[in-house]
Structure 1
Amino acid sequence: MFTNLNRMLHFAFNDFSRNKGISIASVFILTVITMLATSLLFFGGVSDYLILQIQDKIDVTAYFTEETEEKDILIVRDEIVKLEVVKDVFYVSKESALENFKNKYKGNEVFEKALLEVGGNPFLPSLNIKTNGDPLEYQEVANILAQEKFVDLIEKVDFSEKKDIINTVFSIRSAVIRTGLILGLILVFIAILVVFNTIKLTVDSFKDEISTMRIVGATNWFIRGPFIIQGLIYGLISFIICFVISILSFHLLSNKISLILPGFNSFDYFVSNIWMFVALQIVFGVGVSIISSFIAVRRHLKV
């Protein structure tokens, strides 16, 4: 068993070194494809981060009438917060709303003048309600607030005004996921073609030797072995190169990316999801190479 394994390894490494041009070209193309797949995974993480940032800023606000007492608003809050779809509920009094407005537009003469002209406190007490971000969850909250028992208390609910924004965010997220899957499948297909054709060229050059092996009784696995190992070598080298490039790239670019995306650190994201990146690179680098090699050599076993 070990003798056969040593022979297969010997044949595989000999052919790899003998066809340096083809081997280097195959490793290079595999590396580029694997890096593109890695970039897709990273940009998927960036898009998730951006969408989460937007979702955190989206809420449904229920504005109460001026006559509604604070105790009644808190009763509504306690009822809403019990809903499974609700993540947080914040009560904002008239006074707090006015203070927040003044702080936000401090120094803005237009808004300050408008507030003086209105006179008094034009703001209504409200509840800011956050869910996990699903449009259906916001719709459920809006439906509950529209119940008859709340009609006399609530002036308006701004869900209809934010509905389009919420739906757009989720449409973008779905589009990003679909695009990533499609591009990922395209990259897998290209990687399979590259390794398949490389191994096929090698197999074709050894066609007579394969026929001879079959005549003398060599097993299918003994014939397949060197070519599959050769594909494995391509994959391992491309995986190692990609992994090193990923570490260096995410580390060196982390500060620049943080300037564009405050709060997002590319290197921290890579480290926290390192096994996902490793799995992806192994699938593209090693898995695809082995499968392609197996397919390429299979038809010659019938010779």
Structure 2
Amino acid sequence: MKIRTFGVFIRDAINSIKRNSVMSLASVLSVICALIIVGVVMAIAINVNFITDQIEENLELKVFLENDVSEAQKQSIYKAINEMESVIEVTYQSKQEALDAFRKTLGDENSVLISGYTAENSPLPASYIVKFEHADDIAPAGDYLNLLEGVREAVYGEDTVNALLSFNKLINAATWIVLAILSVIAVFIIFNTVKLTVFSRRNEIGIMKYIGATNAYIRFPFIIEGMLLGIFGAGFSVLMLRNLYYFVVGMLRGTTSVLPLGESLAPAGLVIGQISMVFIAYGILLGAIGSSFSIKKFLKV
């Protein structure tokens, strides 16, 4: 396709939007409303994934050892841990180190409660502290290690891990469902907008077909029109979501009771960056699909 021809198509699309300004505006506003809902759900999903990653970094499996565990058993347990997939760090904590850590947790005022304990008579066992790359690998690892000789118990925040994984899956599923529903709505809106334009020019389309214009030549300006409507809707949606996200994050950080939550939210650049890329592609695709369907019937002349 020649650049000059493409320029003509763009000019025709812009003129068509101007001629049907009221309907075009209604179409853009409807797309904005649909995309803002999608954007809010996407922002929640991005933040859930972001917070999940932060929590996963702090999740750990503690493998407590029996008091009479032998060195050979220790080495066997250590080897079994390192052979597991997604293990990123293994730290051995002796009985003395466990006692010192507990004393530090209690603080100076309450450390008197364990003042009589030493490494020899400490009720706290030695352990391996294991960190994983993925939270869903912790449970099967704990079940396996509990079967090994020399292991008293392998423990982890089971409720936290299960709740985290379930919530993450729920949010991701909800995102796709909302995206699918609103995609249909947006395509329908653009379809009807472009259809009005096509209907008003049906005689012109018939003449163009009669003198030999190809379907592609006739269709392209309308597809560009739909794509432009989608891009306009996507652009305004991103700007509005950007301001909304900054407002929400600022509000959370300005409230003492939810300060940690506000601080752990995903950076605005990350959220808006991902939403922008999706929305521009999404707007172009929706516009092209809606326009293609709307003109199909009128090309059968």
Moved more, 78-87 or 63-72: 63-72
CA 1:256 to 1:288, structure 2 compared with 1: closer, same or farther past 3 Å? same
Moved more, 286-295 or 54-63: 54-63
Name the aligned partner's letter for residue 293 of structure 2.
Answer: I
Q: Which runs of 4+ in 1 moved over 4 A?
A: 1-7, 69-72, 112-120, 246-258
Name the aligned partner's letter for residue 213 of structure 2.
Answer: A
| Aligned equivalent of 1:227 | 222
Structure 2 distance, partners of 1:279, 1:173, is 22
Alignment RMSD? 3.1
Structure 1 residues 95-142: Cα deviation after superposition (integer angstroms, max 9, x where no partner): 222232233233786xx6865799963211111222233435531453
| Aligned equivalent of 2:298 | 300
Structure 2 distance, partners of 1:13, 1:165, is 54
* 1:280 and 2:275 are equivalent in the alignment: no
TM-score where L is the length of structure 1: 0.81
Taking only the aligned residue pairs, the percentage that are identical comes to: 22
Name the aligned partner's letter for residue 156 of structure 1.
Answer: E
CA contact (8 A) 2:145 2:154 kept: no
Structure 1 distance, partners of 2:175, 2:57, is 24
CA 1:237 to 1:63, structure 2 compared with 1: closer, same or farther past 3 Å? same
| Aligned equivalent of 1:205 | 200
CA 1:131 to 1:5, structure 2 compared with 1: closer, same or farther past 3 Å? closer
CA 1:128 to 1:209, structure 2 compared with 1: closer, same or farther past 3 Å? same
| Aligned equivalent of 1:83 | 84
| Aligned equivalent of 2:256 | none
CA 1:54 to 1:20, structure 2 compared with 1: closer, same or farther past 3 Å? same
* C-alpha displacement of 1:198: 0.9
CA contact (8 A) 1:51 1:169 kept: yes
| Aligned equivalent of 2:287 | 289
* C-alpha displacement of 1:296: 0.5
Moved more, 11-20 or 98-107: 98-107
- Any idea what SS the aligned residue of 1:124 has? coil
* C-alpha displacement of 1:234: 0.9
1:157 maps to which of 147, 154, 158: 154
Structure 1 residues 146-184: Cα deviation after superposition (integer angstroms, max 9, x where no partner): 13xx2xx2222225xx44443332222222221111111
CA 1:263 to 1:170, structure 2 compared with 1: closer, same or farther past 3 Å? closer
* 1:42 and 2:43 are equivalent in the alignment: yes
| Aligned equivalent of 1:215 | 210
TM-score where L is the length of structure 2: 0.82
Structure 2 spans left out of the alignment, 5+ residues = 254-258
Taking the TM superposition and a 5 Å limit, the aligned residue runs for 1:71-220 are 73=74, 76-106=77-107, 115=114, 121-136=122-137, 138-147=139-148, 150=149, 153-158=150-155, 162-220=157-215
CA 1:18 to 1:71, structure 2 compared with 1: closer, same or farther past 3 Å? same
- Any idea what SS the aligned residue of 2:107 has? coil
* C-alpha displacement of 1:46: 0.6
* C-alpha displacement of 1:247: 4.6
Structure 1 distance, partners of 2:281, 2:218, is 24
- Any idea what SS the aligned residue of 2:263 has? coil
CA contact (8 A) 1:4 1:222 kept: no
* C-alpha displacement of 1:2: 5.9
Structure 1 spans left out of the alignment, 5+ residues = none
Structure 1 residues 248-296: Cα deviation after superposition (integer angstroms, max 9, x where no partner): 455565544553332444224237xx3x433311232221101110111
| Aligned equivalent of 1:64 | 65
Taking the TM superposition and a 5 Å limit, the aligned residue runs for 1:227-266 are 227-250=222-245, 254-256=249-251, 259=259, 260-266=261-267
Structure 2 distance, partners of 1:192, 1:292, is 5
* C-alpha displacement of 1:219: 2.1
CA contact (8 A) 1:135 1:166 kept: yes
CA contact (8 A) 1:195 1:292 kept: yes
CA contact (8 A) 1:91 1:127 kept: yes
CA 1:8 to 1:58, structure 2 compared with 1: closer, same or farther past 3 Å? closer
Structure 2 distance, partners of 1:261, 1:233, is 36
CA 1:8 to 1:68, structure 2 compared with 1: closer, same or farther past 3 Å? closer
CA contact (8 A) 1:131 1:138 kept: no
